[in-house]
Amino acid sequence: MPLDPAQRHQIAQDAITAAWEAERIAACDEAIVLLREVADLERDDDGDVILGADENGHNDLLSRIAAFLATHDQ
């Protein structure tokens, strides 16, 4: 039995919503990984996180956070 246009439209909308929700869940999972890495970083005597940098002054974790935010800023 063929679907009427309203049913086809609803199925298409449901698929778009499901794809968007999957993307958001994946972004949340990525954020959780980054936050866990921050939580595991070495801390100084005051409890502040010590962020190390390479010889060029770059910090991989901060670069990854910036890239994550740029990718998921919608």
Q: Per-residue pLDDT tens for 33-72?
A: 888 887 777 777 888 877 777 777 777 777 788 888 888 7
Q: What six digits make up the tokens of 24? A: 């958001």
Q: What six digits make up the tokens of 60? A: 């991989």
- The structural domain count of the chain equals 1
Enter the pTM of the model: 0.59
Quote the pLDDT of residue 14. Answer: 95
Range of the domain at 23: 5-72
For 17-28, give one letter per residue: b (16+ CB within 10 A) or e. eeeeeeeeeeee
Q: Are 51 and 62 in contact (CB under 8 A)?
A: yes
Quote the pLDDT of residue 17. Answer: 96
